[in-house]
Amino acid sequence: MTTILTIAGSDSCGGAGIQADIKTIHRLGAHALCAVTAVTAQNSRGVEAVYPIPAPFISKQIEAVVSDSPPKAVKIGMLHTLEAVRAVVRVIVRRDLPNVVLDPVLCASTGEWLLEPGALDFFREELIPRVRVITPNLPEASMLTGSSVETVEEAEVAARTLRALGPDVVVTGGHLKGLCVDVLYDETGPHRFSGERIETSCTHGTGCVFSSAVATALGMGMELSSAVEQARTLVRNALRRGYACGMGTGLVDPLAGT
């Protein structure tokens, strides 16, 4: 069976983070390996606390699984600390990990920082150039480029800017008004993937599901454009089948199908 490694934080309400990644990877027919970078105390209303896993132990987790079952692709989510970012960069280089998809988890939707602000420059300069694909949403693309990203046109500009750092880029459009448009920028230029907005309050986990779906598809031999299409379909179904879990934002359901 194809193995996919997820390197991400744990979400105690089970809707995002490594829990969403594992559900998504299994739904698409692969086996999920995992390395936990941080443990969160959070619920549907927000993140109350983050406990970072020491960087040497993050490395130990990754080395343990990749030495035994080399993954076909890697999804990276929340890293939280500068030392964790450094550890992941070292292992990507040392192990020459393939098909690395980076979901740049910088802030929670409720505003809490999920990456230490002091780690952002290293993240941008050392991690981003070493991955195959990066999948920021609009606020993340804005933080990474230092420019406003609120329209499809601005998303294309941001995607081009980020691609200059090395990876292909998918700027996801869930924060756009009106149509939901994801922008892929690869070696051939920009490509738009459009769909009607799905009106729902159950959105927690969309970025995690999308990025882990892209990584899984790449690990199973799919071309990037097709991987983005499949990931979009899965996320849209996950949104339609989302459900409440607590008094705040509801969860997407990546087990809903493709």
pLDDT at residue 200 tops 70 = yes
Give the model's pLDDT for residue 210.
98
- Among the residue ranges 97-106, 111-120, 129-138, 153-162, the one predicted with the least confidence is 111-120
Measured CA to CA, the distance from residue 254 to residue 235 in angstroms comes to 7
Q: How confident is the model at residue 244 (pLDDT cuts 50, 70, 90)?
A: very high
Q: How many CB atoms lie within 10 A of CB 46?
A: 13
pTM above 0.85, yes or no: yes
Q: What's the average model confidence in pLDDT over 231-238? A: 96
Q: What is the pLDDT of residues 34-86, one digit of tens each?
A: 999 999 999 999 899 999 999 999 999 999 999 999 999 999 999 999 999 99
**What are the angstrom distances between the C-alpha of 18 and each of 39, 46, 77, 177, 184?**
10, 17, 8, 29, 24
Q: Is pLDDT above 90 for 258?
A: no
Encode burial over 165-193: b for 16+ CB neighbours within 10 A, e otherwise.
Answer: bebbbbbbbbbbeeebbbbbbbeeebbeb
- The rounded percent of the chain whose pLDDT value lies above 70 is 98
At 183 the pLDDT is 97
Which domains does the chain carry?
3-256 (3.40.1190.20)
Q: What is the pLDDT of residue 175?
A: 76
**101-110 b/e (C-beta count within 10 Å ≥ 16 → b):** bbbbbbebbe
Q: What's the alpha-carbon Rg for the chain, to the nearest Å?
A: 16
Q: Quick one: pLDDT at residue 73?
A: 98
Confidence band for 108, pLDDT divided at 50, 70 and 90: confident
Instruction: Give the pLDDT confidence score for residue 113 in this predicted structure.
Output: 82
- State residue 257's pLDDT score: 54
H or E element: which one contains 182?
strand 180-186
Band of the pLDDT at 117, cuts 50, 70, 90?
Answer: confident
Binning pLDDT at 50, 70 and 90, where does residue 233 land?
A: very high
Q: Which of 31-40, 101-110, 226-235, 240-249 has the lowest mean pLDDT?
A: 101-110
What average pLDDT does the structure give for the chain? 95
Percent with pLDDT over 90 in the chain: 90
Q: Do residues 76 and 195 make contact, with C-beta atoms less than 8 angstroms apart?
A: no
